[in-house]
Structure 1
Amino acid sequence: MHKDSVTGETVQGTKSEDMMDEHHDPHDTNETFHDEATRAHDAPVRIDTEARLGRGPFLIVGLVLVLVVVFVLVGIHSRASAENKLQHDTVAASVDPVFVTSPSGGAKAQEIKLPANTQAFIDTPIYSRTNGYLLKWYADIGTSVRKGQLLAVIQTPEVDQQVAQAKADVATAESNVQIAEITANRWKTLLAKNAVSKQETDQALSDFTARQSALNSAKANLSRLEQLQGFERIYAPFDGVVTARNVDIGSLVQAGDSNTPHSELFHMSAVGTLRLFVPVPEVYAGAVHNGAKVAVTSDAFPNDKFEGTIVRNSNTIDSSSRTLNVEVDLPNSTHKMLPGQYAFVHIPIPSGTSSMTLPSNALLFRAEGLQVGVVQGDRVHLTPVTIGHDYGATVEITAGLRPTDKVVLNPSDSLAEGAHVHVEQGKDQ
């Protein structure tokens, strides 16, 4: 019995073999060793599988437990991170982002821009004062004319004949006056000699006086007809522009009467100076002063600014519109501005010494009155304010704010006292 050199196991041999080993010749040692090595190499290898199989399941279970623990820890951490993020987002969502601005301290003089109705300084239609036919016209639409310039000629044959008849009547009346005067003088001479009666002399003198009155009447009629004849020629009554021509050669022209409407021949406008009528709101009526200079602009000339003068106002507030009608005269020698053109008058409005201006979109209209949201730290305090003038995009603040206050722009209707807000940067106005 011996141990195998390879496996370490005890090997049971035969007795003869053992005896042979005991009495083996030392010279055969190498051969014996070679045989034993060969047998050991050819012998089957045995592995201690029982020990190895006993430890394997425990390792696998351990690895599984470790993985489970890792997954649990990762899940717990992920859930905690999600909850923290949700809580942070919820808190952030509950804080409203706002933009703020500060009131401009010491508001400078402002102006209001009001639409104006532009009219020509003189705007009149030209009618005929006599009946006839248009013989010729000399000015068409858009023509600039001077005062006294001939515009048209009307042919009036009936008036011409009436003038000729009136002249004959005057000549007859003059002859009658002349003979009546000679007769009256003769009767005076005879009366001085007591050759005729006083009654006959008075009749001669009365006839002379009547003849003189008839002559005066004939002359007046002739003068009237000559004036009508003079209306055959139409002249410009002032310097201006012909804005309309309503007749042409051969058109029938009627002077018209109470039963017949007049026929307008031309329409003229004096555009050297324009009248601008501006309805000024009642709240700004105190800023209107006659003689004050004002700026005038028009969308047709966005880069130009004209200077006008307040010449008069109605001195009364229209009860229907609550406005003051103000007239502004605008020199227009270049005729750049046109009657009827849309224009704006800029009326200066002086501001108070302690007033400030604030954008109109910062105001809150509440039942408690006019308010603004002032940011103090990270909270909003609703502050009542008093406004002066309304300039459109901005308003004048006369009470309730300080120049250092941070006022919320475009506040929401739901903005409440003490609301938690976050002031955004970069858009202060």
Structure 2
Amino acid sequence: MSTEVQIEISQPQRLRALKSAGAVAILVVAGVVSGGIFSRVHARQELTAWTQAQAIPTVVTVTPQHTAASQSLVLPGRLAAFVNAPIYARVSGYLHAWYADIGTQVKAGQLLGLIDTPDLDEQLQQAKADLQNSIANEKLAATTARRWTEMLKQDSVSQQEADEKTADLLARQATVEANEANVRRLEALESFKRITAPFDGVVTARKTDVGALIDAGSGSGPELFAVSDAHQLRVYVSVPQSESAAIHPGMTATLTVPERPDMRFDAKLVDTDHAITPSSGTLLVQLAVDNRAGLLFPGEYTEVHLALAGNAHGLMIPASALIFRQSGLQVAVADAQDHVQLRHVSIGTDLGTQVEIASGLQPEDRVIDNPPDSLAQGDAVRVASTEKVAATPAAHDAEQTHG
């Protein structure tokens, strides 16, 4: 009897213990589940924050710099002889001899070559014979005219006959003058058998040789010689239209050539062609440089350094900071809160890797260099700790080059 009572008493206690253990297990499972959910939410929030932070671009800014009081404009130039004369033949024949080869220093009137002209020689002899014949006929006509004039005074001949003899004399005189002119023409051509230097200089080309056939009548053959005066050289430079207003005669410039990098040559601007070439948008400028030392050669490439007055209000920035969009030319500026402000700007001078901004920027602006293509107004950016300083024209003359 007592055993049954004990069994009935112990069963509810066991049930209560089981219920307590189940409740604890449920609480543990709920804690684990809630903890996992919380950690996942937290991780997702951290991932979102990290993604948003990584979406903010890191940029490098540059500080605009004022342009120097004077800036050097470097342009390619071409050297040319002050005087260059290709010498062609005026008479046909064969080259008898040449007396000056390339590189020979010659004086004005010095003999360069001699042409054999047998046809021309015979024409001159014939012309001289015709002249002698016409002179003899003129003398006879003069004697006849005098006689008929005397006879007319004695009424031995008619006035008509006397006038005919006088007119014949005038015709004979005109024939003499024509033959004399023909002889002078052929003698002038004979003088062209001697090919001479037109001025002091150096022979830069000889394109003929002994025995070569020379046909002066074709007009399509090459020149026989070329003589250049290189004591002074001309320098031709194409200046961009944007810089043409600063170009004026009397300006000074310096030249450099690749084969003599440590030497500079002084040049003076002579004049311009006063016209902008439509195909290139440039102004042709001519300078003169003294070459009495003979260190420069016609046809050489040279770099021309022109000193131009700087723009007091211009600001220099790298060309890589420019943004080309449909709305126009812009630059991106980082404000005090590191947000992007897009500024419309205008270029004063394009110097290759550097550009001079005429309007749209302030000296204190932080200009973003190499801005991303997706950068928009108001975007947040992360500014790198180190800021670059835009190069000034005085520091980078070599970069200020127009091709």
TM above 0.5: yes
Unaligned runs of 5+ in 1: 1-78
1:277 touches 1:328 (CA, 8 Å); kept in 2? yes
Match of 2:62 among 101, 122, 131: 101
Match of 2:347 among 369, 377, 387: 387
Could you tell me how far apart the structure 1 residues matched to 2:56 and 2:109 are? 79
- The TM-score normalised by the length of structure 2 is 0.75
Q: Deviations over 1:358-409 (max 9, x none)?
A: 2222333344433334344561433413332222232222333332333333
Moved more, 111-120 or 226-235: 111-120
Partner of 1:405 in structure 2?
A: 365
Could you tell me how far apart the structure 1 residues matched to 2:347 and 2:294 are? 41
Query: Are 2:296 and 1:316 aligned?
Result: no
Q: Would you identify which runs of 4 or more consecutive aligned residues in structure 1 move more than 6 Å?
A: 86-92
Could you tell me how far apart the structure 2 residues matched to 1:129 and 1:398 are? 60
Q: In structure 2, the residue corresponding to 1:379 is in which secondary structure?
A: coil
- The TM-score normalised by the length of structure 1 is 0.71
Q: In structure 2, the residue corresponding to 1:317 is in which secondary structure?
A: strand
Structure 1's 261 and 352: CA in aligned 2 closer, same or farther, altered over 3 A?
A: closer
1:110 touches 1:391 (CA, 8 Å); kept in 2? no
Structure 1's 369 and 211: CA in aligned 2 closer, same or farther, altered over 3 A?
A: closer
Q: Deviation of residue 167 (structure 1)?
A: 2.0
- Map residues 110-129 of structure 1 onto 2, 5 A cutoff: 110-129=71-90
Q: In structure 2, the residue corresponding to 1:264 is in which secondary structure?
A: coil
Pairwise CA RMSD: 3.0
| Structure whose CA Rg is larger | 1
Match of 1:235 among 192, 196, 201: 196
2:340 touches 2:381 (CA, 8 Å); kept in 1? no
Could you tell me how far apart the structure 2 residues matched to 1:107 and 1:250 are? 65
Partner of 1:15 in structure 2?
A: none
Query: Are 2:184 and 1:223 aligned?
Result: yes
Q: Which amino acid letter does the alignment assign opposite residue 340 of structure 1?
A: G
Match of 1:351 among 289, 310, 315: 310
Could you tell me how far apart the structure 1 residues matched to 2:340 and 2:56 are? 15
Structure 1's 297 and 380: CA in aligned 2 closer, same or farther, altered over 3 A?
A: farther
Q: Which amino acid letter does the alignment assign opposite residue 250 of structure 2?
A: G
Unaligned runs of 5+ in 2: 1-38, 391-403
Could you tell me how far apart the structure 1 residues matched to 2:347 and 2:175 are? 80
2:57 touches 2:381 (CA, 8 Å); kept in 1? yes
Q: Which amino acid letter does the alignment assign opposite residue 403 of structure 1?
A: P
**Same amino acid, percent of matched pairs:** 40
1:290 touches 1:310 (CA, 8 Å); kept in 2? yes
Partner of 2:228 in structure 1?
A: 269
Structure 1's 397 and 264: CA in aligned 2 closer, same or farther, altered over 3 A?
A: closer
2:63 touches 2:387 (CA, 8 Å); kept in 1? no
- Map residues 94-173 of structure 1 onto 2, 5 A cutoff: 96-105=57-66, 107-173=68-134
Query: Are 2:236 and 1:293 aligned?
Result: no
Partner of 1:174 in structure 2?
A: 135
Q: Which amino acid letter does the alignment assign opposite residue 127 of structure 1?
A: Y
Query: Are 2:244 and 1:244 aligned?
Result: no
Query: Are 2:313 and 1:331 aligned?
Result: no
Q: Deviation of residue 263 (structure 1)?
A: 5.0
Q: Deviation of residue 337 (structure 1)?
A: 2.4
2:335 touches 2:341 (CA, 8 Å); kept in 1? no
Could you tell me how far apart the structure 2 residues matched to 1:202 and 1:400 are? 97
Q: Deviations over 1:263-302 (max 9, x none)?
A: 5211233323333333322222222223333333333332
2:257 touches 2:303 (CA, 8 Å); kept in 1? yes
Could you tell me how far apart the structure 1 residues matched to 2:51 and 2:272 are? 62
Q: Which amino acid letter does the alignment assign opposite residue 371 of structure 1?
A: Q
